[in-house]
Amino acid sequence: MNNENQLPWYKRVYRWGQTNITELDPIRYDIDWWREHWRRTRVQGIIVNAGGIVAYYPSRYPEVHRALYLGERDLYGEIVCAAHEEGLAVLARMDSNRVHERFYIEHPDWCAIDAAGNPYKAGDLYITCINSGYYQEYLPAIIREIIERSHPEGIADNSFSGLDRNHICYCDNCARSFRKATGMDLPKVKDWESPVYRKWIEWNYARRLEVWDLNNQITKDAGGKDCLWIGMVGGDMVSESVRFRDYKAICERAEVILLDFQARNNAHGFQSNGEAGKLIHGLLGWDKIIPESMAMYQAGRPAFRVASKPEPEARLWVLEGFAGTIQPWWHHIGAYHEDRRQYRTAEPLFRWHEENEQYLANRHPIATVGVVWSQRNVDYYGRDDAEIRISLPWRGIRNALIRARIPYLPVHIDRIEQDCESLSVLILPNIGAMSDAQCASIRRFVERGGSLIATGETSLYDEWGDPRDDFALADLFGAHSLRTHLGSHSSEGNSWDDWSGHTYLRLIPELRGKVCGPRIGTEPSITQGRHPVLEGFDETDILPFGGRLEVVSTDANSKVLLTFVPAFPIYPPETAWMRIPNTTLPGLIINELGNGGRVAYLPADIDRCYGRDNLPDHGHLLANLIRWASRDDIPLKVEGRGLIDCHLYQQPGRLILHLVNLTNAETWLAPVHELISVGPIRVSVRLPQDVVGDKVCLRVIGLEMKAKIGDRWTSFDIPSITDHELIIIS
């Protein structure tokens, strides 16, 4: 037995498959065909339905709802037996958040109820309460039964976290538990200012972790130390916060993460999958694996459960996962399909993954830019507007970095001390809620010579979302909040009837006097050039804005590069002229520190605007700002046309560069119809000490070449990229 096979399954099983069984499947599951499909797609493990909402084996517990067409058959057990004969690992899938009417009638005290005493329902099913005996007694018994019957390698739970944040359960179990933990009665309504509601939020997070720990203990007791219970989690932090899943705490106690993040939406794009891999690995560790449920059917919106996802759409989602060091897991709904195109999608991707798996795991990222995130900021600053307050600013920064081909890392705000040794700049995209300790860690980063970019209301609130009198980081920003703002977070105000969002930012100094165009004799005289942050805007003195401006005062040493131009009419066009063309309200403030660090603060929420509107000017300005703040300490240069997402990693003696070509007609509107090649692409990479860098291997098109070496940089050309390219530099 080689050393690889001696590792526990969760360290060596990279490729997974799942046929999500329906209640009809006991009479149509062709096990022989699926066994052959496992072989064709080179999977090393499968996930198979066992129990929960529906059981696919004859349980000894009468409350269990057996699949309608199961009879006395043990379909689950037959599939597990077949998989073990094939040498595959097996995770028994459960879905433990809902029950049928018979179960509710027998155990009404195990189900969640609203303030009027009515049970919460999802369709015809009743939602269970996470503080009830269902989670504490019943599910542990089912876990033991499943493990005793079939000896799977572990248990996967598709929906372990119960009711979300938008619903309060008022059952006796919750009332007793909350009173015992806090001495308080359950909150009557959602109220973010209420100490009771805040306690309820924290109590819910803690309960999900208790369930995680309990289920793992039960599973290990029944199946051994390497038999794990794994609750599936998603890849969007706003959604995970709504579900009370503390990502940092979960990753700290997990050996593997099962990522239920099946498809892009138009707002987040394919790049959100690669980013999810980097964000989760930053908490979990880069030596652990993250299999992801990758739908072969049309997931997302619109959702067609039994129709094939267009192959280019599925392909780019999977490849972005590979680039983010996510492991593949094909997923079908049902065991029999009339649209059989979906069976062809996984095989070439999974075979390519097998051929290149040594480069796609156990690698460490190389980046000098960190983008800070905080789940507590999602909860207590984002509250019920997290998409606007949190997601849009993050997305704007992320998309600007990708378009500029700048490698970056998501950095959890409580891991700045551990994770920022190699970073030259941190970006705080509207991190409104920050504790004093978190602000202190940012300050220490800057004191060590690091640079900082912050936007919007960053540090203006404490960790509970309560307002401060001024930015906690005002000394770094060189700016002080006047506790008021102009404009709006939303895109409203750009209609013909409401021009409140028709605002601009004026570039300082103004240069139109030396640029081709009409003259009226009042053009400002030009006495100095512009700051490098404004490079590329020489032919304009204004940029479109349309966002929210925090009104601030500035310190004497601060430098203002943009000022605010208030709204003016847009219709009829005869009225579209600036009423107030100049103000002293800052839109961008920069400071250069004596220790070499640089700080930029954006009172104008250009990051949010870019995430919302995708205006090139906003993206270009953000990229300029990042390059300036980092003093061009960027380890990668990629030149050529196209939208290319760049992921740079290191293994001993070699660099791994994964480029994903997102250039297509449907980049912002799913699904993709076809892939469009780009190239040639010129690449330059800064070499670490243990990499020679003169040998380059392109693993997708199958080309080896010699690179040019100069001043510890290696340079080479890629002829073309259709979907992705994996470059090994040694």
Helix (H), strand (E), coil (C) string for 156-193: EECCCCCCCCCCCCCCHHHHHHHHHHHCCCCCCCCCCC
Predicted local distance difference test score (pLDDT) of residue 667: 86
Tokens standing for residue 541: 């003195």
Residue 495 to residue 491: CA distance in whole angstroms: 9
> Taking Cα atoms as reference points, which of 248, 304, 309, 261 lies closest to residue 158?
261
Walk along the chain (730 residues) in steps of 10 and give the mean pLDDT of each run. Answer: 75 98 96 98 98 95 94 96 98 94 96 97 96 97 97 96 96 98 97 98 98 98 98 96 98 98 91 98 98 93 90 97 98 97 97 98 98 98 97 98 98 96 96 98 97 98 98 98 89 61 96 94 92 97 97 97 96 94 98 94 98 97 98 97 97 98 89 95 97 98 97 97 98
Which amino acid belongs to residue 677? S
Fill in the amino acid letter for 198: R
Contact status, residue 189 vs residue 125, Cβ threshold 8 Å = no
Q: Which pLDDT score is estimated for 1?
A: 38
Sheet holding 708-710, edge to edge: 636-639, 681-686, 713-718, 708-710
Distance between CA atoms of residues 150 and 262, nearest Å: 28
| Mean pLDDT over each residue of the chain, to the nearest integer | 96
Place of tokens 């300029």: 624
**Among candidate residues 398, 391, 390, the one with its CA nearest the CA of residue 432:** 390
- Rounded-to-integer distance, Cα 166 and Cα 201, Å: 11
pLDDT at position 493: 46
Sign (positive/negative) of CA torsion 172, 174, 175, 176? positive
Tokens of 275: 């980013």
CA-based nearest residue to 593, from 622, 643, 561, 558: 558
CB 243 within 8 A of CB 161: yes
Residue 669: its pLDDT value, please? Answer: 86
> Element (H or E) spanning 149, and its range?
helix 139-150
Whether 570 contacts 605, CB under 8 Å: no
Please state whether the peptide bond connecting residue 429 to the residue before it is cis, i.e. omega within 30 degrees of 0: no
Residue of 508, 557, 553 whose CA lies nearest to 534: 508
HSE value, Cβ hemisphere, 13 Å, CA-based, for 79: 30
* 332: CB partners within 8 A, 6+ apart: 18, 19, 20, 296, 297, 342
Alpha helix ranges (H) inside 41-110: 75-85, 101-106
Residue showing tokens 């992801």: 292
How does DSSP assign 539-557, residue by residue? T-SEEE--SEEEEEEE-TT
Backbone angles phi, psi at 386, to 5 degrees: -65, -30
Closest Cα to residue 229, out of 161, 287, 283, 157? 157
Amino acid at 638: V
DSSP 8-state code for residue 37: H
- Cα dihedral 709→710→711→714 (10° resolution): -40
| pLDDT computed for residue 299 by the predictor | 87
**With contact defined as beta carbons under 8 Å apart, do 621 and 604 qualify?**
no
Reduced to 3 states (helix: H, G, I; strand: E, B; else coil), residue 365 is strand
> H helices of 224-328, where?
237-242, 247-252, 271-284, 311-323
pLDDT for residue 300: 76
Alpha carbon distance 283, 213 (integer Å):
18
Which tokens go with 60?
Answer: 């000894």
Q: Tell me whether strands 327-333 and 636-639 are parallel, antiparallel or unpaired.
A: unpaired
